[in-house]
Amino acid sequence: MRTLLKLAWRNLWRNARRTLITMASIFLAILLALIMRSWQLGSYRKMVRDVVRSYSGYVQIHRRGYWDNKTLEYSFIMADSLSLLLQQRAGVAGVIPRLESFALASGAEQTKGIMVVGIDPAAEHKLTALAGRITKGRYLSPDEPEVLVAERLAEFLRVTVDDTLVLLSQGYHGISAAGKYSICGLAHFASPQLNNQLVYIPLPVCQLFFSAENRLTSLAIDLEDPQKTAEVTAALRQRLPEADYEVMPWDDMQVELVQQIESDNAGGLIMLGILYVIVTFGIFGTLTMMIHERRREFGVMLAVGLRKSRLLTMLTIETAIMSALAIVLGSLASMPIIWHYTIHPPRFSGELAKAIENFGMEPVLPFLFESSVFIHQAWTVLILTALAAAWPLASVLKLRVVKALHG
């Protein structure tokens, strides 16, 4: 076996150019597959992060029935015990209280149906970085009767900072809700849906407006590790009485996003599949050529008494060394590229950027630098190489010594 190993290693460098060509095809395969996949997975991760971080949070708690019937009648009382119970859960980074409902908002002339969200300004900022979205004016203070208005909505209503916004709605138990609030700031949201209809208002002011003292419609939960969404959801479900509360992870709330990712991922996998096929045939081609070139050599070895099975083992070792080396080198080569683009994601510009922004996303191409991507792709390419090598290598077994010697 040691001799075979030594032979294989020497064989590889006896014709270094041939070896390097074969390795190059594997190297390129792993490089391309890694970059492509880390970009795809990175953009999904980012889409989720953007959507979750822009509004919903990774997990939300509501009174049972609220999600299907989003009215104030399905609000609940925020008990200290509940808040404590949530804060103490492992993995929970923050509990963000909200009271949401709809209202008519009116500036001087225009009126529009909008969404009113009562928030705890500090807690909300931790989850959604809301204060960072302000384009004009300043952020909300905890209980001043002021509102923060989405930019496009303000444009539509023709109001700006320090103007008065009139809100009209129906509160808890159908009590009429009407109020005048000074606009303290305007905020920009990537999602047009949010940018056209969001009005933030401090929670106590919102509760007073809707006559829903001490009530909330939802608790958004921020997680320490977003990958643990399912675990925390399950743990919370176990702790909260099922008849009273519903605990929803982001993928239950953002069904459209999940579907969008799934369909995009299917397309991405097809692209990846095509890449794999091309690469497999490339490897197949170079290996077939190599075997063909070395027929005479094999013939000599067989003629001097090498058993075919040993010959096959030697060739397998050669291929294994080549592919392992190429995969390692390819992964190493991809790392700085992926790392670079993870930190400085490429940005779109011009019309395309606008189109992407209209879909509610930042116009960047984010990459994902994660060991799972590397491991996954390394295994895939290794298996593909094995498949591509199987037939050319097996053909050695059918070699006729005399014919091979005569070339």
Enter the tokens of residue 4. 């075979």
Angstrom distance (rounded) from CA 119 to CA 177: 18
Cβ atoms 66, 263 nearer than 8 A: no
| Span from 95-103, 131-139, 177-185, 251-259 in contact with other proteins (CB under 8 A) | 177-185
Residue closer to other proteins (CB basis): 27 or 209: 209
Per CB under 8 A, 175 contacts other proteins: yes
Q: How far is the CB of 194 from other proteins (least distance, A)?
A: 25
CA 356 vs CA 150, 192, 401: distances in Å: 19, 11, 64
If binding is defined by CB under 8 A, does position 77 make contact with other proteins? Answer: no
Which CB atom, from 241 or from 350, has the smaller least distance to other proteins? Answer: 241
- The answer to whether residue 179 forms part of the interface with other proteins (CB under 8 A) is yes
At 355, list the tokens: 């189109």
Q: Toward other proteins, which CB reaches closer, 215 or 294?
A: 215
192 or 204: CB nearest other proteins: 204
| 110 or 135: CB nearest other proteins | 110
Give min distance, CB of 176 to other proteins, in A.
5
Place of tokens 């203070």: 141
Spell out the residues 6+ positions from residue 124 whose beta carbon is closer than 8 angstroms to its own.
96, 98, 130, 200
Residue partners of 199: CB distance under 8 A and separation at least 6: 103, 105, 114, 115, 116, 117, 147, 148, 149, 150, 153, 165, 167
CA 152 – CA 163 distance, rounded (Å): 15
Q: Is 6 in the site for other proteins (CB under 8 A)?
A: no
Does 113 bind other proteins (CB under 8 A)? Our answer is no
Element of type H or E holding 201: strand 198-202
**Least distance in Å: CB of 164 to other proteins?**
9
Alpha-carbon span 254 to 244, nearest angstrom: 22
Which one of residues 35, 78, 106, 251 is an interface residue with other proteins (CB under 8 A)?
A: 106
* Structure-block tokens of residue 386: 């094995």
Q: Are strands 92-106 and 134-137 parallel, antiparallel or unpaired?
A: unpaired
Characterize the bridge pairing of strands 215-216 and 76-77: antiparallel
User: C-beta of 104: minimal distance to other proteins in Å?
Assistant: 9
CA 140/CA 131 separation, integer angstroms: 8
Q: Does 211 bind other proteins (CB under 8 A)?
A: yes
180 part of the interface to other proteins, by CB under 8 A: yes
Nearest-5° angle of CA 193, CA 56, CA 73?
Answer: 90
State in angstroms the smallest separation of the CB of 111 from other proteins: 9
Q: Considering only 131-139, 166-174, 344-352, 393-401, which stretch makes contact with other proteins by CB under 8 A?
A: 166-174
Tokens representing 59?
A: 């997990």
Would you count residue 349 as binding other proteins (CB under 8 A)?
no
Handedness of CA 198, 199, 203, 208 (dihedral sign): negative
Total binding residues for other proteins by CB under 8 A?
14
Nearer to other proteins, 181 or 276 (CB): 181
How many Å apart are CA 178 and CA 166, to the nearest integer? 7
274 binds other proteins (CB under 8 A): no
Residue 126 C-beta: closest distance to other proteins, Å: 33
User: What sign has the CA pseudo-torsion 340, 342, 347, 352?
Assistant: positive
Examine residue 176 and tell whether it contacts other proteins (CB under 8 A): yes
Told to check if 168 binds other proteins by CB under 8 A, we report: yes
Nearest alpha carbon to residue 27 among 378, 270, 337: 378
10 Å Cβ neighbour count for 196? 17
- Verify binding: residue 397, other proteins, rule CB under 8 A: no
Nearer to other proteins, 171 or 360 (CB): 171
| Identity of the residue, 168 or 328, whose beta carbon is nearer to other proteins in the bound complex | 168
The answer to the question of residue 108 lying near other proteins (CB under 8 A) is no
Nearest-approach distance from CB 227 to other proteins, in angstroms = 40
Site string for other proteins, 46-75 (x = CB under 8 A): ---------------------------x--
Q: Which of 78, 75, 119 is nearest to 214 (CA)?
A: 78
User: Cα separations (Å) of 312 from 77, 362, 389?
Assistant: 74, 53, 11
Quick one: 129 or 175, whose CB is closer to other proteins? 175
Stretch of residues binding other proteins (CB under 8 A), selected from 141-149, 160-168, 216-224, 232-240? 160-168
Which of residues 132 and 174 has its CB atom nearest to other proteins in the complex? 174
Residue numbers at the binding site for other proteins (CB under 8 A): 73, 106, 166-168, 170, 173-176, 178-180, 211
